[in-house]
Structure 1
């Protein structure tokens, strides 16, 4: 089975969640990075030609990733969720203004932001898309895979099994 199988099985509710969360992600990144012009935020350097297409790809992946959590609680070790969060954060840094980001300015200064950070932004975006795609694929494959028992069942009688292993007494054990 492939991840496309899980996508084809999405309910209308999941598609709605994907569309709404993808739109929310796009706005949550586009407004503070001033891709959408508002009086709240400004930008010293104009957006790159690839900022909007990159944001739209990340938004679509993030929306689909959020939709995989509808009616499917996350597992105890959900590394795909961490990949999604990191991918979303990288998208924010990748499409943002290199000298408007306070963290970058504190770490590198304005000259360092233009010299070192700006050339790395496309790489950050590629990494963001790769992480979001990986997280989405992993979540989708988890939804179409079958659970495998962690212990071998021990047949007791016809039609019954015990899912836990029963310890056998050792020689000389008083429970004999």
Structure 2
């Protein structure tokens, strides 16, 4: 974990601004369609849980930091790591399902029906949130520790 903190300390302002912008964008992209931010376009049949906003904010900050690892900062070499990018994307998608309304999600309704969504999917949502945060933490840690490693010359 100390390697990840060391990598964060080396970031310039460009990466920090990118992290802030990506965090704000993540909050809006997830909170508007899940109706955590009330708009006339989207509605919710089941009120949000007490943990929806904290889970969304933690996931958004981690997503913003992960996004910023892909921003080129000065002369630093660009690192190629597709696996952590996929895991970060999966974490964002899981966050969307975790904080969303269980009966407003068309995929869940098709698979389980209304009563199945409330009986089986709603109790799993906190687990999805923890899994999303875990994936984002793992992907971010992998990207940050990779920033401190030396590039291996190609053959």
Scaled to the shorter chain, the TM-score interval is: over 0.9
Partner of 2:147: 143
Please state which structure has a larger fraction of its residues in helix: 2
Partner of 2:65: 64
For residues 74 and 22 of structure 1, the distance between their equivalents in structure 2, rounded to whole angstroms, comes to 22
Point out where structure 1 has 5 or more consecutive residues left out of the alignment: 151-163, 165-176
Partner of 2:4: 3
TM, length-normalised to structure 2? 0.93
- Encode CA deviations 1:2-49: one digit per residue, 9 max, x unaligned: 011110111101000000001000100000000000000000000000
- Encode CA deviations 1:121-155: one digit per residue, 9 max, x unaligned: 000000000000000000001100123457xxxxx
Alignment of 1:7-26 (within 5 A): 7-26=8-27
1:59 to partner: Cα distance: 0.3
For residues 116 and 24 of structure 1, the distance between their equivalents in structure 2, rounded to whole angstroms, comes to 30
2:130 to 126, 131, 135: 126
Partner of 1:50: 51
For residues 134 and 10 of structure 1, the distance between their equivalents in structure 2, rounded to whole angstroms, comes to 19
Aligned residues: CA RMSD? 1.4
Is structure 2 residue 90 aligned with structure 1 residue 89?
Answer: no
For residues 41 and 68 of structure 2, the distance between their equivalents in structure 1, rounded to whole angstroms, comes to 30
For residues 87 and 25 of structure 1, the distance between their equivalents in structure 2, rounded to whole angstroms, comes to 12
Partner of 1:169: none
Which has the higher Rg, Structure 1 or Structure 2? 1
List, as ranges, runs of 4+ consecutive aligned residues in structure 1 with deviation greater than 3 Å: none
For residues 109 and 82 of structure 2, the distance between their equivalents in structure 1, rounded to whole angstroms, comes to 33
With 65-74 and 138-147 compared, the bigger mean Cα shift is at 65-74
Point out where structure 2 has 5 or more consecutive residues left out of the alignment: none
TM, length-normalised to structure 1? 0.82
Partner of 1:108: 112
